[in-house]
Chain A
Amino acid sequence: MIWQLFFTFLKIGCVSFGGGYAVIPMIQYEVEAHGWLEPERFQQAVAMAGMSPGPISTNTATLVGYDAAGIPGGIAATLGMVLPSLAIIVLLSALFFRFQGSKWIKSSLYGLRPIITGMIAYAALHFGFLSGKEGFTWTTVSTLVICAGCLVLLTRYKLHPLAVIAAAGVAGIVIYT
Protein backbone atom coordinates (compact mmCIF):
# COMPACT_ATOMS: atom_id res chain seq x y z
CA MET A 1 0.00 0.00 0.00
CA ILE A 2 2.77 2.43 0.99
CA TRP A 3 4.79 1.57 -2.12
CA GLN A 4 1.73 1.78 -4.29
CA LEU A 5 1.02 5.27 -2.94
CA PHE A 6 4.63 6.29 -3.44
CA PHE A 7 4.88 5.06 -7.03
CA THR A 8 1.48 6.40 -8.05
CA PHE A 9 2.35 9.88 -6.79
CA LEU A 10 5.81 9.59 -8.32
CA LYS A 11 4.09 9.02 -11.66
CA ILE A 12 1.79 12.01 -11.11
CA GLY A 13 4.74 14.13 -9.95
CA CYS A 14 6.52 13.52 -13.26
CA VAL A 15 3.66 15.01 -15.28
CA SER A 16 2.34 17.57 -12.80
CA PHE A 17 2.80 20.47 -15.20
CA GLY A 18 1.11 23.60 -13.94
CA GLY A 19 0.99 22.36 -10.35
CA GLY A 20 -1.88 23.32 -8.05
CA TYR A 21 -5.43 22.57 -9.12
CA ALA A 22 -4.27 21.27 -12.52
CA VAL A 23 -3.02 18.15 -10.74
CA ILE A 24 -6.33 17.45 -8.99
CA PRO A 25 -7.92 15.51 -11.92
CA MET A 26 -4.82 13.28 -12.10
CA ILE A 27 -4.90 12.54 -8.38
CA GLN A 28 -8.64 12.00 -8.50
CA TYR A 29 -8.33 9.52 -11.37
CA GLU A 30 -5.79 7.43 -9.46
CA VAL A 31 -7.76 7.67 -6.20
CA GLU A 32 -10.84 6.31 -7.96
CA ALA A 33 -8.88 3.64 -9.82
CA HIS A 34 -7.33 2.36 -6.59
CA GLY A 35 -10.40 2.95 -4.45
CA TRP A 36 -8.32 4.77 -1.84
CA LEU A 37 -10.97 7.31 -0.82
CA GLU A 38 -14.70 7.71 -1.16
CA PRO A 39 -15.53 10.43 -3.72
CA GLU A 40 -17.04 12.63 -0.98
CA ARG A 41 -13.95 12.22 1.18
CA PHE A 42 -11.73 13.17 -1.76
CA GLN A 43 -13.78 16.29 -2.28
CA GLN A 44 -13.23 17.18 1.37
CA ALA A 45 -9.50 16.52 0.95
CA VAL A 46 -9.30 19.00 -1.94
CA ALA A 47 -11.16 21.62 0.08
CA MET A 48 -8.86 21.05 3.03
CA ALA A 49 -5.76 21.22 0.81
CA GLY A 50 -6.93 24.56 -0.57
CA MET A 51 -7.54 25.88 2.93
CA SER A 52 -4.22 24.76 4.34
CA PRO A 53 -0.97 26.65 3.92
CA GLY A 54 1.49 25.35 1.35
CA PRO A 55 1.17 23.98 -2.16
CA ILE A 56 -2.26 22.57 -3.04
CA SER A 57 -1.03 19.57 -5.02
CA THR A 58 1.35 18.31 -2.32
CA ASN A 59 -1.25 19.02 0.36
CA THR A 60 -3.75 16.88 -1.53
CA ALA A 61 -1.15 14.13 -1.89
CA THR A 62 -0.48 14.24 1.86
CA LEU A 63 -4.19 14.02 2.68
CA VAL A 64 -4.89 11.17 0.27
CA GLY A 65 -1.87 9.22 1.51
CA TYR A 66 -2.78 9.88 5.13
CA ASP A 67 -6.39 8.84 4.67
CA ALA A 68 -5.41 5.71 2.77
CA ALA A 69 -2.58 4.50 5.00
CA GLY A 70 -1.98 6.78 7.99
CA ILE A 71 1.09 8.93 8.58
CA PRO A 72 3.50 6.67 6.60
CA GLY A 73 1.07 6.88 3.69
CA GLY A 74 0.99 10.67 3.91
CA ILE A 75 4.78 10.85 3.88
CA ALA A 76 5.10 8.33 1.02
CA ALA A 77 2.58 10.19 -1.17
CA THR A 78 4.18 13.58 -0.49
CA LEU A 79 7.68 12.24 -1.21
CA GLY A 80 6.46 10.71 -4.46
CA MET A 81 4.91 14.00 -5.45
CA VAL A 82 8.00 16.19 -4.85
CA LEU A 83 10.86 13.85 -5.83
CA PRO A 84 10.38 14.39 -9.59
CA SER A 85 10.59 18.17 -9.00
CA LEU A 86 13.86 17.68 -7.17
CA ALA A 87 15.36 15.44 -9.85
CA ILE A 88 14.16 17.44 -12.84
CA ILE A 89 15.09 20.90 -11.55
CA VAL A 90 18.52 19.76 -10.37
CA LEU A 91 19.15 18.08 -13.71
CA LEU A 92 18.02 21.05 -15.77
CA SER A 93 19.94 23.58 -13.64
CA ALA A 94 23.05 21.41 -13.78
CA LEU A 95 22.85 21.43 -17.56
CA PHE A 96 22.30 25.23 -17.51
CA PHE A 97 19.19 24.59 -19.48
CA ARG A 98 17.46 27.65 -20.87
CA PHE A 99 13.76 27.40 -21.49
CA GLN A 100 13.21 30.63 -23.36
CA GLY A 101 15.36 29.94 -26.39
CA SER A 102 14.23 26.54 -27.59
CA LYS A 103 11.55 26.49 -30.24
CA TRP A 104 10.70 22.89 -29.35
CA ILE A 105 9.95 23.79 -25.76
CA LYS A 106 7.95 26.82 -26.89
CA SER A 107 5.84 24.71 -29.25
CA SER A 108 5.36 22.08 -26.58
CA LEU A 109 4.19 24.66 -24.03
CA TYR A 110 1.89 26.19 -26.67
CA GLY A 111 -0.02 22.89 -26.68
CA LEU A 112 0.40 22.11 -23.01
CA ARG A 113 -0.95 25.39 -21.59
CA PRO A 114 -4.50 25.02 -22.95
CA ILE A 115 -4.50 21.40 -21.76
CA ILE A 116 -3.68 22.58 -18.27
CA THR A 117 -6.44 25.17 -18.58
CA GLY A 118 -8.80 22.32 -19.46
CA MET A 119 -7.54 20.28 -16.50
CA ILE A 120 -8.27 23.10 -14.07
CA ALA A 121 -11.68 23.73 -15.64
CA TYR A 122 -12.48 20.03 -15.27
CA ALA A 123 -11.31 20.15 -11.65
CA ALA A 124 -13.81 22.96 -10.99
CA LEU A 125 -16.62 21.10 -12.77
CA HIS A 126 -15.97 17.86 -11.00
CA PHE A 127 -15.39 19.46 -7.64
CA GLY A 128 -18.54 21.51 -7.94
CA PHE A 129 -20.95 18.92 -9.19
CA LEU A 130 -19.35 15.67 -8.19
CA SER A 131 -22.17 13.42 -7.22
CA GLY A 132 -24.86 14.52 -9.65
CA LYS A 133 -26.83 11.54 -8.45
CA GLU A 134 -28.73 13.56 -5.90
CA GLY A 135 -29.60 15.90 -8.75
CA PHE A 136 -30.36 19.55 -8.48
CA THR A 137 -31.10 20.40 -4.87
CA TRP A 138 -31.22 23.46 -2.67
CA THR A 139 -27.65 22.70 -1.67
CA THR A 140 -26.62 23.03 -5.32
CA VAL A 141 -28.32 26.41 -5.48
CA SER A 142 -26.79 27.69 -2.25
CA THR A 143 -23.35 26.41 -3.27
CA LEU A 144 -23.65 28.27 -6.57
CA VAL A 145 -24.73 31.43 -4.75
CA ILE A 146 -21.77 31.20 -2.35
CA CYS A 147 -19.45 30.48 -5.29
CA ALA A 148 -20.74 33.54 -7.18
CA GLY A 149 -20.35 35.68 -4.07
CA CYS A 150 -16.77 34.49 -3.63
CA LEU A 151 -15.99 35.29 -7.28
CA VAL A 152 -17.21 38.84 -6.68
CA LEU A 153 -15.08 39.14 -3.53
CA LEU A 154 -12.03 37.81 -5.38
CA THR A 155 -12.35 39.90 -8.54
CA ARG A 156 -14.14 43.12 -7.57
CA TYR A 157 -12.75 43.55 -4.06
CA LYS A 158 -9.47 41.65 -4.59
CA LEU A 159 -9.86 39.94 -1.24
CA HIS A 160 -7.22 37.45 -0.13
CA PRO A 161 -8.24 33.81 -0.82
CA LEU A 162 -8.06 33.06 2.90
CA ALA A 163 -10.47 35.90 3.72
CA VAL A 164 -12.84 34.59 1.04
CA ILE A 165 -12.67 31.08 2.50
CA ALA A 166 -13.44 32.49 5.96
CA ALA A 167 -16.39 34.47 4.58
CA ALA A 168 -17.74 31.35 2.87
CA GLY A 169 -17.38 29.41 6.12
CA VAL A 170 -19.45 32.03 7.95
CA ALA A 171 -22.01 32.00 5.13
CA GLY A 172 -22.18 28.22 5.47
CA ILE A 173 -22.88 28.44 9.21
CA VAL A 174 -25.61 31.03 8.59
CA ILE A 175 -27.26 29.08 5.76
CA TYR A 176 -26.96 25.48 6.90
CA THR A 177 -27.54 25.60 10.67
Chain B
Amino acid sequence: MQRDWRQQLKVCGELFAVFTKIGPSTFGGGYAMIPIIEREVVDKRQWLDEAELADMMSLAGSAPGGVGVNSAVFVGYRKAGIAGAIASIVGVTLPALLIVIALSLAYVFFGTNPKLVAALKGIHGAVIALILMAAYRMAKAAVIDKTTAGVAIATVLLQVVFKLNPIYIILIGLFAGIAIIKGKELLGQRTNMDKIPSHPSTQELFAPEYYI
Protein backbone atom coordinates (compact mmCIF):
# COMPACT_ATOMS: atom_id res chain seq x y z
CA MET B 1 0.00 0.00 0.00
CA GLN B 2 2.77 2.33 1.01
CA ARG B 3 4.55 1.65 -2.28
CA ASP B 4 1.40 2.31 -4.28
CA TRP B 5 1.14 5.65 -2.62
CA ARG B 6 4.75 6.48 -3.38
CA GLN B 7 4.37 5.34 -6.97
CA GLN B 8 1.34 7.61 -7.33
CA LEU B 9 3.23 10.57 -5.89
CA LYS B 10 6.11 9.95 -8.29
CA VAL B 11 3.81 9.87 -11.32
CA CYS B 12 2.11 13.07 -10.18
CA GLY B 13 5.50 14.73 -9.78
CA GLU B 14 6.42 13.69 -13.32
CA LEU B 15 3.12 15.01 -14.69
CA PHE B 16 3.66 18.29 -12.89
CA ALA B 17 7.21 18.58 -14.25
CA VAL B 18 6.23 17.79 -17.85
CA PHE B 19 3.35 20.27 -17.90
CA THR B 20 5.38 22.95 -16.14
CA LYS B 21 7.71 22.66 -19.10
CA ILE B 22 4.96 22.58 -21.74
CA GLY B 23 2.80 25.37 -20.27
CA PRO B 24 5.03 28.38 -20.81
CA SER B 25 6.87 27.01 -23.85
CA THR B 26 4.14 28.20 -26.20
CA PHE B 27 2.98 31.63 -27.19
CA GLY B 28 -0.34 32.58 -28.65
CA GLY B 29 -2.55 30.27 -26.69
CA GLY B 30 -3.52 26.69 -26.20
CA TYR B 31 -3.58 25.34 -29.71
CA ALA B 32 0.15 25.88 -30.04
CA MET B 33 0.58 23.42 -27.17
CA ILE B 34 -0.89 20.41 -28.98
CA PRO B 35 2.17 19.45 -31.06
CA ILE B 36 4.37 19.84 -27.97
CA ILE B 37 2.02 17.72 -25.86
CA GLU B 38 2.11 15.13 -28.62
CA ARG B 39 5.90 15.09 -28.63
CA GLU B 40 6.31 14.96 -24.86
CA VAL B 41 3.43 12.69 -23.95
CA VAL B 42 3.06 10.35 -26.93
CA ASP B 43 6.48 10.20 -28.60
CA LYS B 44 8.85 10.55 -25.66
CA ARG B 45 6.96 8.97 -22.79
CA GLN B 46 4.28 6.78 -24.39
CA TRP B 47 1.74 7.91 -21.79
CA LEU B 48 -0.94 7.91 -24.47
CA ASP B 49 -1.19 6.06 -27.77
CA GLU B 50 -2.31 7.69 -31.01
CA ALA B 51 -5.96 6.67 -30.55
CA GLU B 52 -6.05 8.18 -27.07
CA LEU B 53 -4.45 11.32 -28.46
CA ALA B 54 -7.31 11.60 -30.95
CA ASP B 55 -9.77 11.16 -28.05
CA MET B 56 -7.93 13.86 -26.15
CA MET B 57 -8.15 16.27 -29.07
CA SER B 58 -11.86 15.88 -29.59
CA LEU B 59 -12.68 16.06 -25.89
CA ALA B 60 -10.31 18.94 -25.10
CA GLY B 61 -11.49 20.92 -28.11
CA SER B 62 -15.21 20.51 -27.57
CA ALA B 63 -15.41 21.01 -23.81
CA PRO B 64 -15.33 24.49 -22.30
CA GLY B 65 -11.90 25.81 -21.43
CA GLY B 66 -8.63 26.30 -23.23
CA VAL B 67 -7.54 23.30 -25.28
CA GLY B 68 -4.08 23.23 -23.65
CA VAL B 69 -5.48 23.19 -20.13
CA ASN B 70 -8.11 20.60 -21.04
CA SER B 71 -5.49 18.36 -22.66
CA ALA B 72 -3.32 18.55 -19.54
CA VAL B 73 -6.25 17.45 -17.38
CA PHE B 74 -7.01 14.59 -19.77
CA VAL B 75 -3.44 13.26 -19.75
CA GLY B 76 -3.13 13.64 -15.98
CA TYR B 77 -6.40 11.86 -15.31
CA ARG B 78 -5.55 8.97 -17.65
CA LYS B 79 -2.16 8.58 -16.01
CA ALA B 80 -2.92 9.00 -12.31
CA GLY B 81 -6.58 9.72 -11.64
CA ILE B 82 -7.81 12.91 -10.04
CA ALA B 83 -4.49 13.57 -8.28
CA GLY B 84 -2.78 13.36 -11.67
CA ALA B 85 -5.30 15.72 -13.21
CA ILE B 86 -4.67 18.26 -10.45
CA ALA B 87 -0.88 17.91 -10.75
CA SER B 88 -1.09 18.51 -14.51
CA ILE B 89 -3.43 21.50 -14.35
CA VAL B 90 -1.30 23.19 -11.70
CA GLY B 91 1.79 22.44 -13.78
CA VAL B 92 0.34 23.90 -16.95
CA THR B 93 -1.11 27.01 -15.26
CA LEU B 94 1.43 28.01 -12.61
CA PRO B 95 4.37 29.14 -14.78
CA ALA B 96 2.19 31.38 -16.95
CA LEU B 97 0.59 32.83 -13.82
CA LEU B 98 3.98 33.69 -12.32
CA ILE B 99 5.32 35.11 -15.59
CA VAL B 100 2.23 37.26 -16.12
CA ILE B 101 2.39 38.64 -12.58
CA ALA B 102 6.12 39.33 -12.98
CA LEU B 103 5.41 41.18 -16.25
CA SER B 104 2.73 43.23 -14.50
CA LEU B 105 5.20 44.20 -11.81
CA ALA B 106 7.79 45.12 -14.43
CA TYR B 107 5.16 47.21 -16.17
CA VAL B 108 4.58 49.20 -12.99
CA PHE B 109 8.28 50.15 -12.97
CA PHE B 110 8.93 50.64 -16.68
CA GLY B 111 5.44 51.42 -17.94
CA THR B 112 6.12 55.11 -18.36
CA ASN B 113 9.27 54.63 -20.46
CA PRO B 114 8.42 56.36 -23.77
CA LYS B 115 10.10 53.65 -25.87
CA LEU B 116 8.06 50.94 -24.15
CA VAL B 117 4.84 52.94 -24.50
CA ALA B 118 5.56 53.29 -28.23
CA ALA B 119 6.38 49.59 -28.60
CA LEU B 120 3.13 48.62 -26.86
CA LYS B 121 1.20 50.94 -29.16
CA GLY B 122 2.72 49.10 -32.12
CA ILE B 123 2.01 45.70 -30.58
CA HIS B 124 -1.64 46.72 -30.35
CA GLY B 125 -1.81 46.35 -34.15
CA ALA B 126 -0.14 42.93 -33.97
CA VAL B 127 -2.66 41.65 -31.44
CA ILE B 128 -5.56 42.76 -33.65
CA ALA B 129 -3.92 40.78 -36.48
CA LEU B 130 -3.55 37.71 -34.26
CA ILE B 131 -7.21 37.88 -33.17
CA LEU B 132 -8.30 38.28 -36.82
CA MET B 133 -6.25 35.20 -37.73
CA ALA B 134 -7.92 33.23 -34.94
CA ALA B 135 -11.34 34.36 -36.20
CA TYR B 136 -10.44 33.35 -39.76
CA ARG B 137 -9.20 29.92 -38.69
CA MET B 138 -12.33 29.35 -36.65
CA ALA B 139 -14.54 30.59 -39.49
CA LYS B 140 -13.00 28.09 -41.90
CA ALA B 141 -14.27 25.27 -39.68
CA ALA B 142 -17.47 26.90 -38.50
CA VAL B 143 -19.00 28.84 -41.36
CA ILE B 144 -19.89 26.04 -43.76
CA ASP B 145 -23.30 27.11 -45.03
CA LYS B 146 -25.77 30.04 -45.04
CA THR B 147 -27.18 29.13 -41.63
CA THR B 148 -23.82 29.15 -39.89
CA ALA B 149 -22.85 32.38 -41.65
CA GLY B 150 -26.07 33.94 -40.34
CA VAL B 151 -25.39 32.72 -36.82
CA ALA B 152 -21.87 34.18 -36.86
CA ILE B 153 -23.11 37.58 -38.07
CA ALA B 154 -25.98 37.53 -35.55
CA THR B 155 -23.48 36.87 -32.74
CA VAL B 156 -21.49 39.99 -33.63
CA LEU B 157 -24.65 42.11 -33.99
CA LEU B 158 -26.14 40.91 -30.70
CA GLN B 159 -23.02 42.18 -28.98
CA VAL B 160 -22.43 45.39 -30.90
CA VAL B 161 -26.06 46.56 -31.05
CA PHE B 162 -27.75 44.97 -28.04
CA LYS B 163 -24.73 44.60 -25.73
CA LEU B 164 -26.03 41.17 -24.75
CA ASN B 165 -24.00 39.28 -22.16
CA PRO B 166 -21.86 36.86 -24.20
CA ILE B 167 -22.43 34.13 -21.61
CA TYR B 168 -26.12 34.10 -22.57
CA ILE B 169 -25.24 33.95 -26.24
CA ILE B 170 -23.15 30.84 -25.60
CA LEU B 171 -25.89 29.26 -23.46
CA ILE B 172 -28.44 29.90 -26.22
CA GLY B 173 -25.90 28.59 -28.73
CA LEU B 174 -25.62 25.22 -27.00
CA PHE B 175 -29.23 24.56 -28.00
CA ALA B 176 -29.44 26.67 -31.12
CA GLY B 177 -27.60 24.08 -33.21
CA ILE B 178 -29.88 21.28 -32.05
CA ALA B 179 -32.97 23.42 -32.76
CA ILE B 180 -31.72 24.36 -36.23
CA ILE B 181 -30.90 20.77 -37.19
CA LYS B 182 -34.27 19.54 -35.88
CA GLY B 183 -36.07 22.34 -37.67
CA LYS B 184 -34.34 21.56 -40.94
CA GLU B 185 -35.18 17.88 -40.52
CA LEU B 186 -38.83 18.79 -40.12
CA LEU B 187 -38.57 20.70 -43.38
CA GLY B 188 -37.02 17.64 -44.94
CA GLN B 189 -33.51 19.05 -45.33
CA ARG B 190 -30.36 17.23 -44.45
CA THR B 191 -27.47 19.20 -43.02
CA ASN B 192 -23.85 18.33 -43.33
CA MET B 193 -22.72 19.25 -39.85
CA ASP B 194 -18.99 19.40 -40.20
CA LYS B 195 -16.34 19.80 -42.79
CA ILE B 196 -14.03 17.16 -41.40
CA PRO B 197 -13.06 14.83 -44.26
CA SER B 198 -13.94 11.18 -43.81
CA HIS B 199 -10.35 10.09 -44.36
CA PRO B 200 -8.23 12.69 -42.66
CA SER B 201 -4.53 12.43 -43.21
CA THR B 202 -2.45 12.20 -40.04
CA GLN B 203 -1.29 15.74 -40.69
CA GLU B 204 -4.85 17.01 -40.49
CA LEU B 205 -5.73 14.83 -37.55
CA PHE B 206 -2.91 15.96 -35.31
CA ALA B 207 -2.31 19.50 -36.46
CA PRO B 208 -5.70 20.87 -37.37
CA GLU B 209 -6.19 24.60 -37.43
CA TYR B 210 -9.08 24.66 -35.02
CA TYR B 211 -10.01 22.73 -31.94
CA ILE B 212 -13.72 22.61 -31.46
* Chain A residues within 8 Å of B, Cβ to Cβ: 11-22, 24-26, 29, 43-44, 46-59, 62-63, 66-67, 71, 74-75, 78, 81-82, 84-86, 88-90, 92-94, 97-100, 104-125, 127-128, 139, 142-151, 154-155, 160-162, 164-165, 167-173, 175-177
Given contacts A52-B103, A54-B24, contact A172 B121 (CB under 8 A): yes
**CB <8 Å contact, A173 and B122:** yes
Q: How far is the CA of A117 from the CA of B65 in the complex (A)?
A: 16
Q: How far is the CA of A149 from the CA of B124 in the complex (A)?
A: 12
Give 21 A-B contacts (CB < 8 Å), ordered by A residue: A16-B66, A56-B30, A57-B29, A78-B93, A84-B64, A86-B89, A89-B59, A89-B65, A109-B193, A110-B180, A111-B178, A114-B149, A115-B155, A116-B138, A119-B155, A122-B155, A147-B126, A154-B130, A170-B119, A175-B122, A177-B115
Contact residues, B121-176 vs A (CB, 8 A)? 121-135, 138-139, 141-143, 148-149, 151-156, 159-160, 165-167, 169-171, 173-176
A54's partner among B99, B128, B194, B212 (CB-CB below 8 A) is B99
Q: How far is the CA of A154 from the CA of B133 in the complex (A)?
A: 8
Closest to A162 in B: B27
The count of residues in chain B whose C-beta lies closer than 8 Å to any C-beta of chain A is: 99
B125's partner among A12, A49, A50, A146 (CB-CB below 8 A) is A146
A112's partner among B95, B107, B177, B211 (CB-CB below 8 A) is B177
Q: Which residues of B contact A51 (CB under 8 A)?
A: 27, 123, 127
